Structure 1
């Protein structure tokens, strides 16, 4: 038997949505790639909210008081949750973008092991920074 026959590569087929998707394990680089797209979409969709927050916070003292009242009112937890989602989206998109720039500049960093380690690093850094800024947003310190 030749070495080619002994070392057959697995055959990849189409992934069925209901049968295979629940058991398919996406590598960390794939997860970061999908979350990079999700975070970009989230920032784009919440752009009117970002513009509103900026407008209300810098227009006048009265509008700033109204702006802070939104975050302290009965639905303040919802506004803070939306801001937390924006914080995560920005931090993840930024960290993943830096990862992509490093891979574009340094072609030695484009391999399976480095991709896995940098993807896990991006996930860890973005989540830790989100927790720190979220704690500040919710007034824990």
Structure 2
């Protein structure tokens, strides 16, 4: 087959944001992006949220009591719930990526199934923690 007989492949230049947002990514790609977002969330919240709260709770009994009052607020509970989701998703996806590094589940079918299981397990565990955090049980 000559070069002129081959079908010309489309060239994409100056791709705009709406075109990027309309692209349908596979579930494994979405899980990967959420893994990066959850890692960034945990990393950036460490010096701003987690360490100050830990220092406040360990400073004295009065500090611990004040922290208990802070955790009574629904906004603080939502912040903690977002951090819990970030940790759980990052942990579950990290296990998936360790398996992928070992060469397990690299085919398309298994990759989609493990990506879906990461999302289901991390969201289910987050719901359990939310129920506990908001005092259902």
Across the aligned residues of Structure 1 and Structure 2, the Cα RMSD in angstroms comes to 2.0
Q: Quickly say closer, same or farther: Cα 1:23–1:89, change in 2 above 3 A.
A: same
Aligned to 2:116: 120
Distance in 1 between the 2:69 and 2:94 partners?
A: 34
Aligned to 2:33: 34
- Equivalent of residue 100 in structure 2, options 97, 103, 109: 103
Structure 2 residue runs of 5 or longer lacking an equivalent are 2-6
In the TM superposition, what is the alpha-carbon distance from 1:13 to its structure 2 partner?
Answer: 4.2
Q: TM-score, normalized by length of structure 2? A: 0.85
Q: TM-score, normalized by length of structure 1? A: 0.83
How many aligned residue pairs are there?
130
| Paired residue secondary structure (1:20) | helix
Distance in 2 between the 1:125 and 1:77 partners?
A: 24
Contact 1:28–1:120 (CA under 8 A) maintained in structure 2? yes
Q: Quickly say closer, same or farther: Cα 1:130–1:12, change in 2 above 3 A.
A: farther
2:53 counterpart of 1:53: yes
Deviations 1:53-78 (A, max 9, x none): 21122222111001011122xxx111
Q: Quickly say closer, same or farther: Cα 1:120–1:79, change in 2 above 3 A.
A: same
